[in-house]
């Protein structure tokens, strides 16, 4: 037997590297061929005794990972469960991760008999070791152990292991959480969310064990900022799950976020994240389950915060503007503007779901008193910090409809009047005096501001007043039609899309299209659209070789 394990590690390293890095899919035949030359006991022995050989451990682990993912390789796992046990307790994080991945592959080793695979895992006491890997392992080990634990919940036997009946079991997630470090607690809570996603039946078990309350409790304590931020993201993840709203009411989560936004004693980072997540929630499908007053309160909380931060270049300002941009990008499916006006005026007499279906997020921002959207327009055209202005420009692009279908770009009458007035008032108070002057100024700035300006114009130009403003400044047309203006792919695409939007709006306006003074502008736009986003202007001269006669004397 000693002779069996005595091999040249360099030969094993070379062959394992070829197998691990083979570009195609490794099948059962290739796995069997490799293991015929290097049986699993040989590879495992090399992992245990030849760790000092440079690159051997990483290569063998990568090789075994591909082997165990084949059906033939997985069929050998039951014979080496002791190796899995040892691997889960190894000092090497790489080997721990391999052991976790191997547990994930056990299912295919039992002829699709999931219960049989779970019984095998239970027999060798693997589950407590997986929990230990999740708590104490590095990020990759923790993620792999969570995947392995998630795989156990696909069978009734596995569910019994993960959710023991006795609450005082050492493997009870509540007990594991109580005895873990801050990082470990976040990972336990992340596991709960991961398991919640498996199915509504598993979610029901988690709800019945009152494990969801652990997330809310951790957020409410505010004892650890990083943990609070992490758990907020986990709660949002729960709200996105189709069956999530059944067990975690969005209204409760939204109210928690509102309390953070309004509490001036909490850390600015927590307020910032709460505003961003509130913006996401207000555009989610589950928002129809929330009372209108909660939505109004959330908008009011963001409005109050931005009012206090007015003129300040802070992360909070960026986050608040980003949240408004998210809300402004959402839209309902209504076809009748009069219906929206009726809903805004008589919403108390209508069902909340009708109100949500009919109204667009941008209309909410422009229909409040005072309009919440004023913060976006003020910051978009002010000389503030670059981050704040960028966030505002993208938010205003969303509100103006840049990301919405053509039929949904225009808002209801009152919202459109408000949008136009806010922009004209802002322009009148600036040195540029007109919206067209503001647009041109933005297009003359650095690349990222310019790209955001392209988005903004693409949305606003669907409005006749904005189209007139754009056409009144030939300098705007010169920039957006010049193929040499942008050198980055994102900028080229944004510039071309802006050209298309302006030309489309101009083509749809019989009055402007028939104006002889705009014929040249229309032709220029048409040529820029036809040229596409990436082709450089033909006028751009290419380098030419210069040949000179040699001087002989």
The three-state secondary structure class of 373 is coil
The predicted model gives 26-37 an average pLDDT of 89
Residue 480: how many other CB atoms lie within 10 Å: 29
pLDDT at 512 over 90: no
Q: Before 370, cis peptide (omega within 30)?
A: yes
The predicted model gives 334-360 an average pLDDT of 44
Residue 381: how many other CB atoms lie within 10 Å: 24
Higher pLDDT, 21 or 385: 21
Of the chain, the percentage scoring pLDDT greater than 70 comes to: 86
Distance CA 101, CA 464 (A): 60
User: CA dist 510 to 163, 187, 477, 504, 513, Å?
Assistant: 69, 61, 19, 12, 5
Residue 535's contacts (CB-CB under 8 Å, 6 or more residues apart) are 483
Confidence of residue 2 (pLDDT cuts 50, 70, 90): very low
Confidence of residue 453 (pLDDT cuts 50, 70, 90): very high
265-271 long-range CB contacts below 8 Å, 24 or more apart? 266/222, 267/225, 268/314, 268/315, 268/316, 269/225, 269/229, 269/315, 270/222, 270/225, 270/228, 270/229, 271/305, 271/316, 271/319
pLDDT at 341 over 50: no
Distance CA 119, CA 422 (A): 67
The tens digit of pLDDT for each residue in 113-156 reads 666 778 888 888 899 999 999 999 999 999 999 999 998 888 88
> Among 45-54, 285-294, 433-442, 493-502, whose mean pLDDT is lowest?
285-294
pLDDT of residue 155: 84
Burial degree of 262 (CB within 10 A; 0-12, 13-18, 19+) = middle
Closest CA to 109 of 157, 71, 58: 71
The rounded mean pLDDT for the chain is: 83
Confidence of residue 344 (pLDDT cuts 50, 70, 90): very low
**What is the b/e burial string over 320-335, where b = at least 16 CB atoms within 10 angstroms of the residue's CB?**
bbbbbbbbbbbbbebe
Distance CA 76, CA 47 (A): 17
Residue 404's contacts (CB-CB under 8 Å, 6 or more residues apart) are 329, 331, 459
Distance CA 116, CA 103 (A): 13
Confidence of residue 112 (pLDDT cuts 50, 70, 90): low
Residue 24: how many other CB atoms lie within 10 Å: 6
Residue 462's contacts (CB-CB under 8 Å, 6 or more residues apart) are 400, 401, 406, 409, 410, 501, 505
pLDDT at 104 over 50: yes
pLDDT at 421 over 90: yes
Q: The whole model's pTM is what? A: 0.78
Spell out the alpha helix ranges (H) of 197-283.
Answer: 200-208, 212-221, 225-240, 244-247, 250-262, 268-282
Which residue's entry shows tokens 């029901």? 204
Number of H helices, E strands in the chain: 35, 0
The tens digit of pLDDT for each residue in 239-254 reads 888 887 778 778 888 8
Of the chain, the percentage scoring pLDDT greater than 90 comes to: 30
Torsion of CA 387, 393, 394, 396, to 10 degrees: 140
CB 85 within 8 A of CB 126: yes
The predicted model gives 353-380 an average pLDDT of 77
Distance CA 294, CA 305 (A): 17
pLDDT of residue 543: 59
The predicted model gives 464-486 an average pLDDT of 88
The predicted model gives 392-415 an average pLDDT of 87
pLDDT at 158 over 60: yes
The predicted model gives 160-186 an average pLDDT of 88
pLDDT at 510 over 60: yes
Higher pLDDT, 54 or 35: 35
pLDDT of residue 403: 82
pLDDT at 62 over 70: yes
> Among 2-6, 56-60, 411-415, 434-438, whose mean pLDDT is lowest?
2-6
pLDDT of residue 98: 93
pLDDT at 189 over 90: yes
Tokens for 336, please give them.
């009748």
CB 434 within 8 A of CB 470: no
Higher pLDDT, 286 or 315: 315
CB 457 within 8 A of CB 470: yes
Confidence of residue 25 (pLDDT cuts 50, 70, 90): confident
pLDDT of residue 113: 61
């Amino acid at each position: 037997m000693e002779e069996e394990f005595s091999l040249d590690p360099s030969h094993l390293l070379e062959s394992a590297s070829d197998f691990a890095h083979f570009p195609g899919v490794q099948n059962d035949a290739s796995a069997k061929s490799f293991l015929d030359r290097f049986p699993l006991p040989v590879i495992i022995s090399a992992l245990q005794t030849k760790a000092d050989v440079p690159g051997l451990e990483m290569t063998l682990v990568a090789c075994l990972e591909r082997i165990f993912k084949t059906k033939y390789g997985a069929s050998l796992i039951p014979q080496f469960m002791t190796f899995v046990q040892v691997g889960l307790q190894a000092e090497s994080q790489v080997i721990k991760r391999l052991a976790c991945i191997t547990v994930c592959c056990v299912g295919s080793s039992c002829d699709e008999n999931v219960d049989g695979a779970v019984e095998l895992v239970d027999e060798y006491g693997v589950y407590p070791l997986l929990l230990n890997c999740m708590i104490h392992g590095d990020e990759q080990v923790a993620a792999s152990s969570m995947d392995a634990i998630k795989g156990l919940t696909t069978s009734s036997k596995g569910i019994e292991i993960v959710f023991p009946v006795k609450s005082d079991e050492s493997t009870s997630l509540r007990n594991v959480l109580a005895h873990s470090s801050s990082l470990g607690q976040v990972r336990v809570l992340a596991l709960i969310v991961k398991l919640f996603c498996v199915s509504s039946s598993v979610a029901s078990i988690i709800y019945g064990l009152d494990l969801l309350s652990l997330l809310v409790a951790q957020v409410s304590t505010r004892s650890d900022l990083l943990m609070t931020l992490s758990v907020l993201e986990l709660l949002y993840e729960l709200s996105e799950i189709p069956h999530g709203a059944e067990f975690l009411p969005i209204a409760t989560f939204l109210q928690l976020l509102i309390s953070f936004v309004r509490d001036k004693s909490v850390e600015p980072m927590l307020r910032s994240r709460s505003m961003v997540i509130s913006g996401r929630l207000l555009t989610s499908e589950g928002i129809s389950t929330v009372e209108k007053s909660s939505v109004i309160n959330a908008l009011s909380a963001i409005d109050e915060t931005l009012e206090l931060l007015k003129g300040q270049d802070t992360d909070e300002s960026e986050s608040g503007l980003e949240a408004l941009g998210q809300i402004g990008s959402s839209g309902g499916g209504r076809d009748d503007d009069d219906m929206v006006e009726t809903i805004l005026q008589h919403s108390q007499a209508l069902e909340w779901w009708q109100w949500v279906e009919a109204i667009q997020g941008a209309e909410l921002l422009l229909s409040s008193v005072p309009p919440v959207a004023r913060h976006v327009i003020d910051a978009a055209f002010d000389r503030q910090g670059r981050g704040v202005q960028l966030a505002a420009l993208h938010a205003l692009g969303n509100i103006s409809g840049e990301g919405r279908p053509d039929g949904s770009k225009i808002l209801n009458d009152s919202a459109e009047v408000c949008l136009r007035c806010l922009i004209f008032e802002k322009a009148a108070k600036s040195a540029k005096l007109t919206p067209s002057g503001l647009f041109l100024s933005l297009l003359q700035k650095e690349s990222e501001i310019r790209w955001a300006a392209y988005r903004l114009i693409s949305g606003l130009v669907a409005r006749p007043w904005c189209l007139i403003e754009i056409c009144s400044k030939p300098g705007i047309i010169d920039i957006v039609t010049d193929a040499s203006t942008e050198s980055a792919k994102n900028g080229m695409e944004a510039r071309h899309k802006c050209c298309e939007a302006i030309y489309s709006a101009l083509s749809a306006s019989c009055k402007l299209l028939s104006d002889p003074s705009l014929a040249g502008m229309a032709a220029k736009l048409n040529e820029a659209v036809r040229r596409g986003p990436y082709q450089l202007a033909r006028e751009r001269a290419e380098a030419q070789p210069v040949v000179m006669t040699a001087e002989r004397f």
